[in-house]
Chain A
Amino acid sequence: MRSPAPVGPEATFEATAERDDSWAGRIFRVRGGRHKRAPRGLVAGAAAVAVVALLPLGFVVDQAVSVGLGQAERLLIRPLVGTLLVNTVLLTVTATAAATVLGIGVAWLVERTDLPGRRLWAVLAALPITVPAFVTSYSWVSLTPAVQGFWGAALIVTLAYYPLIYLPVAAVLRGMDPALEESARTLGLGPWRTFLRVTLPQAKLAVLGGALLVAVHLLAEYGAFAMLRFQTFTTAIYDEYRLSFDGPAASMLATVLVALCLALLLFELRLRGRARYARVGAGAARQAERLRLGRMTPIALVGFGALIGVALGLPLVTLGYWLVRGASTSFPLGSLAGTAGTALELGLGAAALTTALALPVSILVVRYPGRLATTLERSTYFAYALPGIVIALALIIISVNVMQPLYQTTMLLLVAYALLFLPLALVAVRAALAQAAPALEENARALGAPPWRVLVRVTLPLIAPGLGAAAALVFLSTITELTATLLLAPIGTQTLATRFWSDASSFAYGAAAPYAALMVALSAPPTYILTRKLGAFEARSSK
């Protein structure tokens, strides 16, 4: 489709051309008003996605408003609310910060040092994302009750979600132009300062994007916190449903999550804002020199071993224990194959739909940045901050009242997945677009190709690895999704997650274990794809 990425002088030319567009070009636009206007179709597409993504939010607000004053008082002015607010905010901040440090550290060790076995570590370090959080939490709780409470919850979700930061940061480090770091070193900066003052700022957007995903996701985390006896607004929302079956009351509580999510979005934008003109994208096409760890090697290895042991080994050992010791252990091949097939089908469907929906929004926000693009992009995050049951009930009410034939079809379930996981796809597609030189698209257009053909023939092939990474992330999340699947799947549909839940919730851990093991096994290939393809644009260029 395109010739291999240029090397040598040509590469410099390409990089220069891109840089021209990404900051000088932008400054020019601001001054001269030669504003590149987004095609109307693109804006309409992105707006349509944003509107659909905002449906659950609209539902929540509408329901919350319908709650009477007395009811609102019962919910918001009760002894527990202070605890819930403090818990939710403190845990989100602590775990996000810890996951950020861990994610950056792991990415740096794997991509920038001579750590022995780094290719293996690179894959292993991403794998904790494949183990459902409720399995991880259960393993820990059965090992020691000490993990229950704030620090345990913070530790476990940090270990579960740091790959969301590690993966994009590793991709940026892999593709970064080594020239900058080399210049810094030549000019006398030590390795540590170079990292802090040159490397880290370059990875800023990736770090912020990943941290935002983790933080917003933690607002809606239920399974892990329920198991760890840690109360947040989301667990309180589930409690409200469990005891009062009261949708509006739960929505009232969910508005607090919406407000917290909004705060996170604005905060991230603020941090990001100063980085707006930083150079993003591929530089010269070669690998950076790896730092020799020397005497630090054993320490780094022990650290990695410990990390993989607790984040991945422990839950897997627990699964193995269940398989061996549980009285109910059995391998019903038909059911295993059937549920695995359904999970695979739903996972692939959700991956395709969500990635496709992420495309117009990503193109708009990367190629035509501005207030409108940012607003549309940010509006897709709210559904990610809402508990699955809120999204599912919103879709039930909307589809029952407006689109009856769609109710309890695979289609509606896929839409639910797309709403829940759109931000994951956005992050990956956005990163790939930012790294694909727009000059290629402009050349194609200058040669007379219509926009759709440029998209199909130039843009999509360029960002294919990013699309793959987006699809892989969505696939991983879909495989373990429980609440929306239970409520919205066509009747009789069983996935690995619903089977696991059904057995584990009646103590049949032995029977549940094969389903969890299959979930992990199905998730391994996409995770491998993620470690290779996220940012593979440069990896290919650097061959």
Chain B
Amino acid sequence: MAIALSILSVTPAAGCGGAGGGPGTSGTLTLYSAQHEGPTNALVKAFERQTGASVQVRFGADDELASQIAAEGSVSPADVFLAENSPPLTLLAEKGLLAKLASSTLARVPTKYNSPSGDWVGVAARETALIYDPRQVAPGQLPHSILDLAQPAWRGRLAIAPAEPDFQPVVAAVSKLDGEAAAERWLTGFQSNAKRYNDNEGIVAAVEHGQVAVGVVNHYYWYRLAQEVGFARMRSRLYYFGHGDPGALVDVSGAGVLRSSRRQSLAQRFVAFLVSSAGERALVRSGDWEYPLGSGVAPAPGLEPFDHLEAPSVAPADLGDGHVALGLLQRAGLL
């Protein structure tokens, strides 16, 4: 035990000085980011260049970081949380952990992509889409609506990732547009038709390899895979439902300032930068394939134009913190 104790007492000194409790060096902002690393780093670098401030980042998934911030409570080292989806931000806002954002920041993004109470702002968007293998499904056979995929004709040919935070909003959208009973019937159909994958990456890889005919994903996973293996070599294709279908839902990645932050003005400045034209352009240039939401910046060439997507009129605010959709998924036996 003596040895153990001596290690215990030595290590903190040897360890990194990044402890959360102490007052950080002035001008250093702490960002918790659930966004992918490439785009996050691009945003951070652009901000540091513009302001001279420095930013340190903790990466993790939405769930990990949201749980972590909730556990840290009022002593959280985080100043800003950049989430991949809106429900974790809504959850933290419900717990009173987010500060109100400056109205000038919120004004840079169309209102429907922001928190109605001004707790967080939409930064980037992803479109729900159907990835399909043209050798198994001719373009003429593609379903009109995501609801059609619940029909017996798709048994064993459909891939979904019910535990992926991107899928839950689609459930919420169906429930909002067609009612909870319809949503329940639809999910029962999915329960018997769908092969269950752990995440969007798994679905995209499976459809690309012809292991399953179609899959519900976010558009940018296809673009990322295409970027890695080469667009010309992709076998799979993307199909957008459009016409206000719940399957054409837009998912919003947003950012908020922690109420416990002791660097409020710097944090507010960072979030304002994210939705400024400089910030959004940095995001587009990072090769992330998301749609920028702020300051009217145009998306990367090669993407379907944002206004062609004909998304349904379901806002992040309608999704809440996701508990309704979770209940539906669990009752259907998908989770």
- With a 10 A CB-CB cut-off, give which of B63, B211, B221 has the most chain A CB atoms: B63
Q: How far is the CA of A145 from the CA of B205 in the complex (A)?
A: 10
Would A498 and B59 count as touching, CB distance under 8 A? yes
Cβ of A235: which chain B residues have Cβ within 8 Å of it?
198
- Across the interface, A410 reaches (CB within 8 A) one of B16, B68, B230, namely B16
Question: CA separation between A45 and B333, bound complex, in Å?
Answer: 47
Shortest beta-carbon distance from B285 to chain A in Å: 16
B206 proximity list for chain A (CB < 8 A): 145
Q: How far is the CA of A231 from the CA of B162 in the complex (A)?
A: 12
Interface size class of A (residues with CB under 8 A): 35 or more
Question: Is chain A's interface secondary structure helix, strand, loop, or mixed overall?
Answer: helix
Cβ-defined contact, A243 with B165, below 8 A: yes
Are B7 and A242 touching (Cβ within 8 A)?
no
Given A245-B88, A490-B18, A491-B18, A506 and B73 contact (CB-CB distance below 8 Å)? no
B77 touches A408 (CB 8 A): yes
A301 to B192, CA, bound (A): 45
Complex interface: chain B residues within 8 A of A243 (CB): 63, 163, 165, 168, 322, 325-326, 329, 335
Interface string of B158-191 (1 = CB under 8 A from A): 0000011100100000000000000000000000
Question: Is the beta-carbon distance between A490 and B4 smaller than 8 angstroms?
Answer: no
Interface centre among A242, A405, A410 (most CB of B within 10 A): A242
For B72, give the chain A residue with the smallest CB separation.
A400
Most buried by B among A142, A389, A507: A507
Among B20, B61, B229, the residue within 8 A (CB) of A407 is B20
Question: Is the pair A507, B19 in contact by a Cβ cutoff of 8 Å?
Answer: no
Task: Collect the chain B residues with CB atoms within 8 Å of residue A493's CB.
Answer: 16, 18
Contact A241 B67, beta carbon cutoff 8 Å: yes
In the bound assembly, the distance between CA atoms of A283 and B163 in angstroms comes to 55
Contacting residues of chain A (480-498) with chain B, CB-CB under 8 angstroms: 483, 486-487, 490-493, 498
Which A5-39 residues have a C-beta within 8 angstroms of B? none
Question: Which of B30-38, B132-140, B247-255, B308-316 contacts the other chain?
Answer: B30-38
Which of chain A's residues 392-438 have a Cβ closer than 8 Å to chain B?
393, 396-397, 400, 404-411, 414
Which chain A residues border B21 with CB–CB below 8 Å? 404-405, 407
How many angstroms between the C-alpha atoms of A411 and B7 in the bound complex? 9
Given contacts A145-B206, A408-B77, A490-B15, contact A393 B71 (CB under 8 A): yes
A359 and B16 within 8 A (CB): no
Q: How far is the CB of B248 from chain A (nearest CB, A)?
A: 22
- Residues in chain B near residue A236, CB distance under 8 A: 335
CB distance from A81 to the nearest CB of B (A): 10
Q: Quick check: B330 and A74 within 8 Å, CB to CB?
A: yes
Question: Complex Cα distance A493/B22, Å?
Answer: 18
Residues of A within 8 A of B144 (CB): none
- From A75, which residue of chain B is reached at the shortest CB distance? B330
For window 53-72 of B, CB contacts with A under 8 Å fall at 56-64, 66-68, 70-72
A506 to B287, CA, bound (A): 11
Say yes or no: is A294 at the interface (Cβ < 8 Å to chain B): no
Interface pair B75/A242, CB less than 8 Å apart:
no
One of A117-125, A348-356, A470-478 contacting the partner: A348-356
- A78 with B331: CB separation less than 8 A: yes
**Is A244 located at the chain interface by the 8 A CB criterion?**
yes
Known: A353-B7, A411-B12. A487 touches B18 (CB 8 A): no
Query: Cα distance A505–B317 when bound, in Å?
Result: 28
When distances are taken between beta carbons in the complex, the residues of chain A under 8 Å from B322 are: 243-244
Task: Given the known inter-chain contacts A145-B211, A492-B56, please indicate yes or no for A245 contacting B91, CB distance below 8 A.
Answer: yes
**B interface footprint on A158-192 (CB within 8 Å = 1, 0 otherwise):** 00000000000000000000000000000000000
Q: Would B4 and A356 count as touching, CB distance under 8 A?
A: yes
Whether B228 contacts A327 by the Cβ 8 Å rule is yes
- What 1/0 mask marks residues of chain B from 196 to 228 whose CB sits below 8 Å from any chain A CB? 111101101110010100000000010011011
In Å, the complex CA distance between A463 and B111 comes to 68
Say whether B335 contacts A247, CB under 8 Å: no
Question: A491 and B1: CB pair below 8 A?
Answer: no
Say which residue of A41, A74, A509 sits within 8 Å of B228 (CB atoms). A509
Alpha-carbon gap, A325 to B37, bound state (A): 22
Return the chain A residue nearest B92 by Cβ: A245
What DSSP secondary structure best describes chain B's contact surface?
helix
Which of B279-335 touch A at CB < 8 Å?
A: 321-323, 325-327, 329-335
Q: Which residue of chain A has its CB nearest to the CB of B222?
A: A507
Known: A80-B335, A242-B62, A487-B64. A142 touches B205 (CB 8 A): yes
Which residues of chain A are near B202, meaning CB under 8 Å?
A: 141, 227, 229
Inter-chain contacts of A326 with B (CB < 8 A): 228
**Complex Cα spacing A397 to B12, Å:** 19
Contact partner, A80, options B66, B87, B330, Cβ 8 Å:
B330
Q: What residue in chain A is nearest B19 (Cβ atoms)?
A: A409
A492 near B224 (CB under 8 angstroms)? no
Residues on the A chain within 8 Å of B17, using CB = 490
Q: Is A226 interfacial (CB-CB < 8 Å)?
A: yes
The yes or no answer to A328 lying at the interface (CB within 8 A) is: yes
Q: Is the CB of A490 within 8 A of B333?
A: no
In the bound complex, residues from chain A placing their C-beta under 8 Å from that of B61 are: 242
0/1 per residue, A133-161, Cβ < 8 Å to B? 00000000110010000000000000000
Cβ of B153 within 8 Å of any chain A Cβ, yes or no, is no
Give the distance to chain B from A172, nearest Cβ to Cβ, in Å. 27
**Contact status of A411 and B36, CB under 8 A, knowing A229-B195, A245-B70:** no
Complex alpha-carbon distance, A239 and B199, angstroms: 11
How far, in angstroms, from A239 to B61 measured CA to CA in the complex? 12
The answer to whether B224 and A359 have CB atoms under 8 Å apart is no
Give complex CA distance A356, B75 in Å.
32
| CB pair B64 A410 closer than 8 Å | no
B20: chain A residues at CB < 8 Å are 404, 407-408, 491
Q: Are B16 and A44 in contact (CB under 8 A)?
A: no
- Bound together, the chains give a CA A78 to CA B71 distance in angstroms of 27
Contact flag A502-B3 (CB < 8 Å), given A393-B67, A405-B21, A486-B60: no
State whether A507 touches B4 (Cβ < 8 A): no
Q: Is A360 located at the chain interface by the 8 A CB criterion?
A: yes
Which chain B positions have C-beta within 8 A of A452?
A: 2
Give chain A residues whose Cβ lies under 8 Å from the Cβ of B229: 325, 327
Residues of A with C-beta under 8 A to B325: 243
Closest to A509 in B: B228
Q: Which of A327, A352, A389, A505 contacts B7 (CB 8 A)?
A: A352
Besides A243-B325, A408-B77, A409-B19, 9 new A-B residue pairs in contact (Cβ under 8 A), listed by A number: A45-B4, A79-B332, A79-B333, A142-B205, A229-B195, A244-B326, A245-B87, A247-B71, A409-B18
CB<8 Å pairs between A and B, sample of 25? A74-B330, A78-B335, A141-B205, A142-B205, A227-B202, A229-B197, A238-B163, A242-B163, A244-B321, A245-B66, A245-B70, A245-B321, A356-B7, A359-B3, A393-B68, A396-B72, A404-B75, A405-B21, A407-B72, A407-B75, A408-B77, A490-B17, A507-B224, A508-B38, A509-B228
Q: 7 shortest A-B CB distances, which residue pairs?
A: A410-B15, A45-B1, A490-B18, A79-B333, A490-B16, A239-B163, A145-B211
- Residues of B at under 8 Å CB distance from A? 1-4, 7-8, 11-12, 14-22, 30, 36-38, 56-64, 66-68, 70-73, 75, 77, 87-88, 91, 163-165, 168, 195-199, 201-202, 204-206, 209, 211, 221, 224-225, 227-230, 321-323, 325-327, 329-335
- Which chain A residues have a beta carbon within 8 Å of chain B's beta carbons? 41, 44-45, 48-49, 74, 78-80, 141-142, 145, 226-227, 229, 231, 235-236, 238-239, 241-245, 247, 325-328, 349, 352-353, 356-357, 359-360, 389, 393, 396-397, 400, 404-411, 414, 452, 483, 486-487, 490-493, 498, 502-503, 505-510
